[in-house]
Amino acid sequence: MAKYDVDSEKLKRLEDYIDSIEQKEGALIGVLYKAQEIFGYLPKDVQLFIARKLKIPAAKVFGVTTFYSYFTMEPRGKHVINVCMGTACFVKGADKVLEELRKQLNITEGNMSPDGMFTVDSLRCVGACGLAPVVMVDGKVYGRVKVEDVKAILDEYREGGSTQ
């Protein structure tokens, strides 16, 4: 009777995974890990599904999810882009770079591109002011980024090269 507002194909994969576990007791953390791998994050309905499937209280699942910083309840793209918004970067046009990133990735709401490939966030000063404006993709640093560079940077991460 329960309805879960998430991708049913992914949910099926999670269900199969849980069904394959013999020792269900103490399996919660492993299951959450797997679920995050499948969904990219742990929305409420995925946690509820896990709770009911493992027969443990939803409050407990939520407690564990919020305890470990590894788990996230917000969707995250495959690649995480951080734009430094420290004063130096800002003065050198970081806001325009950010705007361009969002435009090219079709992000209108939230931080994730609709195809789930990228999450774009801003950071406070990362301490690399000499390179301003700074953009980081999955931890790799790009310095003195201009609006014109954005496409090339994104292309590096797009699978099979450029698609748009």
Partner 1 sequence: MINVTINDIKLKVPEGTTILDAAKMANINIPTLCHLNLHDIKMVNRTASCRVCLVEVEGRRNLAPACATECFEGMVIKTNTKRAIRARRTMVELLLSDHPTDCLVCEKNGNCDLQKIAADLGIRQIRFEGEQSTYEKDSSSGALYRNPDKCIMCRRCETMCNEVQTCSVYSAVDRGFETVVGPAFNLPMLDTQCTFCGQCVSVCPTAALTEVSYVQDVWNALHDPDKYVIVQTAPAIRVALGEEFGLKPGTIVTGKMVAALRRLGFKKVFDTDFAADVTIVEESKEFIDRLNGKGRLPILTSCCPSWVKFIEHQFPELLDIPSTCKSPHMMFGAIAKTYFAEKFNIPADKIVVVSVMPCIAKKYEIQREELKSDGVENVDYVITTREFAKMIREAGIDFTKLPDEDFDNPLGESTGASVIFGTTGGVIEAALRTAYEWVTGETLQDVEFHGVRGFEDGLKEATVKLKDMELKIGVAHGLGNARRLLEDIRDGKRFYHAIEIMACPGGCIDGGGQPYHHGNLEIVKARMNAIYEEDRRKPIRKSHENPAVIKLYQEYLGEYGGHKAHKILHTHYTPRETI
Binding residues: 84, 89, 125, 129
Q: Which of residues 57-116 bind partner 1 (CB under 8 A)?
A: 57-63, 66-67, 69
Please pick, from the candidates 51, 80, 88, 107, the single residue that binds partner 1 as defined by CB under 8 A: 51
Minimum distance between the CB of residue 26 and partner 1, rounded to whole angstroms? 17
Q: Does 140 bind partner 1 (CB under 8 A)?
A: no
Q: 54 or 97: whose CB is closer to partner 1?
A: 54
Minimum distance between the CB of residue 142 and partner 1, rounded to whole angstroms? 33
Q: 47 or 113: whose CB is closer to partner 1?
A: 47
Please pick, from the candidates 10, 13, 44, 53, the single residue that binds partner 1 as defined by CB under 8 A: 44
What torsion do the CA atoms of 125, 129, 132, 138 make, to the nearest 10 degrees? -50
Cβ–Cβ under 8 Å, residues 91 and 132: yes
Minimum distance between the CB of residue 28 and partner 1, rounded to whole angstroms? 12
Q: Does 2 bind partner 1 (CB under 8 A)?
A: yes
The CB-based long-range contact list for 39-44 (8 Å cut-off, 24+ gap) reads 39/6, 39/7, 39/10, 39/14, 40/75, 40/76, 40/77, 40/78, 40/116, 41/72, 41/73, 41/74, 41/75, 41/76, 42/71, 42/72, 42/73, 43/5, 43/6, 43/73, 43/75, 44/73
Cis peptide before 43 (omega within 30 of 0): no
Residues lying near partner 1 in the complex (CB under 8 A) are found at: 1-2, 44, 47-48, 51-52, 57-63, 66-67, 69
